[in-house]
């Protein structure tokens, strides 16, 4: 089984063999083409690399970065899709959220369905809500923020973002579910001075959510694989500045 880590300007490959390709999806890109479009820049880059069209197994929101699996054959797609539908795939996300979460470990059990007032979004107890469970573990606490490892046990649309917002700890940046539009260093560093005539560049201005790891059975060899993706630059910078200017709070 061939495995490699390769990175181009857009495409970071975490694993590549005859049946699957696993990438570290960059934030701001999607694998699902808009209506009327045949592909996306990221899918086209994958097609160039593998020499044929890839098949979707699961997806990440446009603003979310991290581990994403694509199949190279219909048999592999069918096998992996079955694992996702039976919840035997284990996913770990890292989320920077608003507020200092008190419990080190907790679970959120609340059904999710389309928002009755905002049809394009999801909500707890929305229309035709389905069972949804999310577990999380605190990694670090800062003044006013928390970094958590999140483990979705079901696969509802926007599940992590909706659940975190439901318990009062939305992703720090998430304009659709209660977070901010961006994080700025000037809001953390009291001595920050902006250069005259230049706008401040945000530390991060997309959803503060990263798919950090995924564990699944290989669709042909039945071998269990765990594949991880490092934090991208914007997410890592936000955490670095939190540690430096917000101070880790272990209380």
- Tell me which residues are annotated as active site: 61
Distance, in Å, from the CA atom of 155 to the CA atom of 134, rounded to the nearest integer, reads 9
Residue pair 126/95 in contact by the 8 Å Cβ criterion: no
Residue pair 97/145 in contact by the 8 Å Cβ criterion: yes
DSSP 147: E
CA 149, distance to chain mean position in Å, is: 11
Residue pair 111/125 in contact by the 8 Å Cβ criterion: yes
Distance, in Å, from the CA atom of 154 to the CA atom of 175, rounded to the nearest integer, reads 23
Q: Cβ atoms within 10 A of the Cβ of 175, count?
A: 15
Distance, in Å, from the CA atom of 234 to the CA atom of 66, rounded to the nearest integer, reads 13
Pairing of strands 65-71, 209-217: parallel
Distance, in Å, from the CA atom of 152 to the CA atom of 154, rounded to the nearest integer, reads 6
Q: Which residue(s) pair with 97 in the sheet?
A: 146, 171
CA-atom Rg of the chain in angstroms: 19
Half-sphere exposure of 86 (CA within 13 A, CB side): 9
């Amino acid at each position: 089984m061939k495995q490699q880590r390769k990175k181009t300007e857009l495409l970071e490959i975490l694993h590549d063999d005859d049946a699957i390709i696993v990438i570290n999806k960059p934030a701001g890109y999607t694998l699902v083409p808009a209506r009327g479009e045949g592909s996306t820049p990221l899918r086209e880059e994958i097609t160039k690399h593998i020499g044929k069209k890839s098949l979707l197994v699961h997806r990440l929101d446009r603003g979310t970065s991290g581990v994403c699996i694509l199949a190279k054959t219909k048999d592999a797609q069918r096998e992996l899709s079955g694992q996702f539908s039976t919840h035997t795939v284990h996913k770990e996300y890292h989320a920077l959220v608003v507020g200092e979460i008190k419990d080190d470990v907790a679970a959120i059990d609340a059904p999710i369905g389309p928002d009755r007032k905002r049809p394009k979004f999801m909500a707890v107890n929305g229309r035709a809500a389905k069972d949804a469970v999310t577990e999380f573990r605190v990694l670090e606490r800062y003044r006013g923020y928390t970094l958590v490892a999140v483990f979705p046990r079901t696969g509802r649309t926007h599940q992590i973002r909706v659940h975190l917002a439901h318990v009062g700890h939305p992703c720090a940046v998430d304009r659709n579910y209660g977070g901010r539009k961006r994080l700025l260093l000037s809001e953390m560093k009291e001595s920050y001075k902006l250069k005259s005539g230049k706008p401040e560049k945000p530390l991060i201005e997309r959803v503060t959510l990263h798919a950090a790891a995924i564990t699944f059975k290989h669709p042909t060899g039945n071998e269990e694989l765990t594949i991880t993706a490092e934090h991208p630059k914007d997410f890592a910078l936000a955490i670095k500045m939190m540690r430096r200017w917000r101070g880790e709070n272990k209380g």
